[in-house]
Amino acid sequence: MSELGLASRREADEWIARGWVRVDGAVVSELGARVSPEQQITVDPAARAFQAQLVTVLLNKPIGYVSGQAEDGYEPAVTLVTPQNHWNGDPTGLRFKREHLRNLAPAGRLDIDSVGLLVLTQDGRIAKRLIGHDSEIEKEYLVRVQYGRPGPVRDVFPEADLGTLNHGLWLDGKPLLPAKVWWQNEDQLRFVLREGKKRQIRRMCEAVGLKVVGLKRVRIGRVMLGDLPPGQWRYLRGDETF
């Protein structure tokens, strides 16, 4: 069911437990039951209605919050999802409900010292799309940097090293996928990546002698951070897809 995009594994388990899944017309009661490619899986409309109520939240994460579980005394970003922080420019018209926090989890990381777009979702299908092992959805960042020579960084940074940032670096013993990296202004780069290794951009910059002094994620797939203020959040619109 997960491979077909019908549900996340957790959702599939819950639907099976509720008797909402049939194979060739027969209700499935065993978790992990095997299904051959020739067999037909059907899902009760109640499951679709349940799935339609799942929410996805877009948060403009500020510095000082961790993406996932609390650590070293720092609070997780999900604690910012409160009625008080709900952006009054949210175009969805949805109103906050406490059940929207149930199983709301980050779909990807954003370092404690980085800011910008963080996705939290109840929908396992979206999580898989964004952080599954085969996901190649683009993520775009604005990265302010310093270099060890006087003058505007763009003017003194070697062009060859900019080429290396685009393609040619290795991390953790493996080559990185080609990236898109170009100058936004004299001390700021724009990165577009299709993978998300831990602290990847900071480590890429360190490899060519750059120090990151500010990092902001502004886009995931086709979803933009836009005018969402720091520390505030909104719901993903029904017509928005990553």
Per-residue burial over 185-216, b if 16 or more Cβ lie within 10 Å, else e, is eebbbebebeebeebbbbebbebbebebeebb
Active-site entry in 24, 44, 72, 111: 111
Catalytic residue check, 155: no
Do the Cβ atoms of 217 and 116 come closer than 8 Å? yes
Q: How wide is the angle at C-alpha 22 spanned by C-alphas 16 and 27, nearest 5°?
A: 75
Which residue ranges make up each domain of the chain? 9-51, 55-135+223-235, 139-220
Mean pLDDT of 138-147: 97
The pLDDT tens digits for 17-71 are 888 899 989 888 888 788 888 889 988 888 777 777 889 999 999 999 999 887 7
Pair 22, 194: CB distance under 8 Å? no
User: Tokens 């018209």 map to which residue?
Assistant: 93
pLDDT at residue 152 above 90?
Answer: yes
- pLDDT attached to residue 90: 97
Look at residue 144 in the predicted model and tell me its pLDDT.
Answer: 98
Q: What is the pLDDT of residue 17?
A: 86
* pLDDT band for position 132 (cuts 50, 70, 90): confident
* Alpha-carbon torsion (82, 85, 90, 95), positive or negative: positive
Determine the Cα–Cα distance for residues 169 and 110; give it in Å rounded to an integer: 21
Supply the Cα-derived Rg of the chain in whole angstroms.
21
At 37, is the secondary structure helix, strand, or coil? coil
pLDDT value of position 46: 81
What's the mean pLDDT in 4-25?
Answer: 84
The CATH fold assigned to 139-220 is Alpha-Beta Plaits (3.30.70)
User: pLDDT tens across 168-202, in order?
Assistant: 999 999 999 999 999 999 999 999 999 988 899 99
Q: Residue 156 in contact with residue 39, Cβ under 8 Å?
A: no
pTM equals 0.83
CA 94 to chain CA mean position, Å: 21
- Which residues are registered as beta bridge partners of 86? 233
At residue 5, the pLDDT reads: 76
CATH 3.10.20.600 fits 55-135+223-235, yes or no: no
Q: Could you tell me whether strands 170-171 and 115-121 are parallel, antiparallel, or unpaired per DSSP bridges?
A: unpaired
From CA 151, how far away is CA 64, in angstroms rounded? 31
Q: Please state, in angstroms and rounded to a whole number, the distance separating the CA atoms of residues 50 and 123.
A: 11
* Average of per-residue pLDDT values in the chain: 92
The DSSP secondary-structure symbol of 99 reads: G
In terms of Cβ atoms closer than 10 Å to its own Cβ (0-12, 13-18, 19+), residue 34 is: exposed
Q: Fold match between 55-135+223-235 and 139-220?
A: yes
